[in-house]
Amino acid sequence: MDRMSATIFVTGSSGCIGHYVVERFLNDARYQLVLLMRDPTKLKFDPAKFSNVSLVAGDLEHIEVHQKILAKTDILIHIATAWGDSDLSTQVNKDKTLEMLGYCSDRLQKVIYFSTASILGADNHPIPEAESLGTGYIRSKYRTYAALKSSPCAAKLITIFPTMVFGGDAHHPYSHISAGIGDNSKWLRYLKYVYFDARFHFLHAYDIAGVVAYAVTQLSGPQDLVVGNPVMTAKQVIADLCGHYGVKIGLRLKIAPWFILGLIKLFRIKIAPWDRFCIQHPFFEYNVVSPATFGLKTKYPTLRDVL
């Protein structure tokens, strides 16, 4: 490796956001990319075509195998996560993350860690309900963030809190949301008659990668960045989706949270405590940043651009 270049160790590069992030640094002589990969066949590009990319086989569960590489890491971009609904998520997401950072040396300049905006309240601070009511994944993200804030790397930490993530095409894996839009568009024939009083943000993975690239080159820790475009209402989202798929909208009825919870009780539908909490508190509104915040171009500023 070129000693004049910085080594970036990336986890989660085979996912949607990971592909867009890695893409920003391909063939950039300033950086040597080391990609931790459980399954290299999931990459949608040929790493052999890029002189600054190397793959290491493995996962977070066995991160101790890569102690020597981590000791020579200058920048750590940690995107990988365990999605399970159990405390195993905490063991992987928190314990293995802290273990991985423990193998890094004083050479480490910054850590860019991906959390989730789901653990935050309107003031961008973690909410205790994420710990007491959250799924295994949500609890693990809450606990990991708290642990990192009191860890030796806290001064080098830039935490990225994605809101809703769109993204994917022939060259990038689809996010969970983008993958489900087409399959569920059939429900618009019913949703066009109703709307929900909810608000939330989204950001395309391409633009998330733009924020990450800016953080690598221009920012230093500690910082918390909730990434998203300006807030949208659920009513506008349904309207945009109907417009995209050619579904005409007429009179619409507002559905309140109590009505949804009433139907759940009436039909004896089992939902998790976290799902109930989210229905009762449907305003996922934060102080957000996007590429435009830093004087860059946001490629997908609206949902219509994404569609």
The first and second tokens of residue 33, run together, are 């990319």
Instruction: For residues 56 and 157, state if they share a domain.
Output: yes
Amino acid identity, residue 195? Y
Q: Residue 169 forms beta bridges with which residues? A: 172
| 100 and 248 part of one domain | no
Q: What angle do the packed helices 273-280 and 257-266 form, to 10 degrees?
A: 150
Residue that the structure tokens 């905006």 belong to: 117
Residue 176 lies in a domain: no
Q: Are residues 276 and 293 in the same domain?
A: no
Domain membership of residue 43 as a residue range: 6-166+201-228+286-300
Query: d(Cα 10, Cα 22) in Å, to the nearest integer?
Result: 8
Q: 299: which 2 tokens?
A: 């490629």
Q: Are residues 157 and 272 in the same domain?
A: no
Q: How far is CA 93 from the centre of its chain?
A: 14
Q: Assess if residue 175 is contained within a domain.
A: no
Q: Is the same domain home to 217 and 255?
A: no
In a domain, 171, yes or no: no
Task: From first to last of the 307 residues of the chain, give the pLDDT tens digit.
Answer: 445 799 999 999 999 999 999 999 998 999 999 999 999 999 999 999 999 999 999 999 999 999 999 999 999 999 999 988 877 888 999 999 999 999 999 999 999 999 999 999 989 999 999 999 999 999 999 999 999 999 999 999 999 999 999 999 999 999 999 999 988 899 999 999 998 899 999 999 999 999 999 999 999 989 999 999 999 999 999 999 999 999 999 899 999 999 899 989 998 999 999 999 999 999 999 999 999 999 999 999 999 999 9
Q: Indicate if the alpha-carbon torsion angle 27, 167, 271, 284 is positive or negative.
A: positive
Q: At what angle do helices 16-23 and 205-218 cross, to 10 degrees?
A: 50
